[in-house]
Amino acid sequence: MALTKTQVVDSVQERIGFSRKKSTELVEQLIEIIKDTIEKGDDVLISGFGKFCVKEKGVRKGRNPATGADMMLEKRKVVTFKCSSVLRDKVNNGEE
């Protein structure tokens, strides 16, 4: 099951005690800050959580899965996420 933005807003409202409107504004602003930073090509590091990294992929050879034809893929940027060791330990300890 995935955590939705609405559920995050509900959790902020419950934990901090902000109004629904204030909680929504807070979550929306946080997401916008992260999106704007990534859009500029900068990484986002959240201690204890992880790092969103912007990486460039160069031109490379690919294949059209529908036809099987070879093709050249253009260079592009991708966003990756690397979780912190703190989060990784929590995830792994939670499964045992």
Flag whether 90 is in a domain: no
Q: What is the CATH number of the domain that holds 24?
A: 4.10.520.10
CA distances from 9 to 23, 45, 48, 75, 79 (A): 6, 22, 21, 36, 24
What mean pLDDT is predicted for residues 63-91? 93
pTM of the model: 0.78
Please return the burial class of 26, using the count of CB atoms within 10 Å of its CB with bins 0-12, 13-18 and 19+: middle
Flag whether 25 is in a domain: yes
In contact, 79 and 53? CB cutoff 8 Å = yes
Q: How many domains does the chain have?
A: 1
**Cβ-based neighbour number of residue 38 at 10 Å:** 16
How many residues are given for the chain?
96
DSSP H or E run through 92:
helix 85-95
Flag whether 2 is in a domain: yes
Tens of pLDDT along 56-72? 999 999 999 999 999 99
Percent pLDDT > 90 in the chain is: 95
Name the residue range of residue 18's domain. 1-40
C-alpha closest to that of 72 among 81, 64, 80 = 64
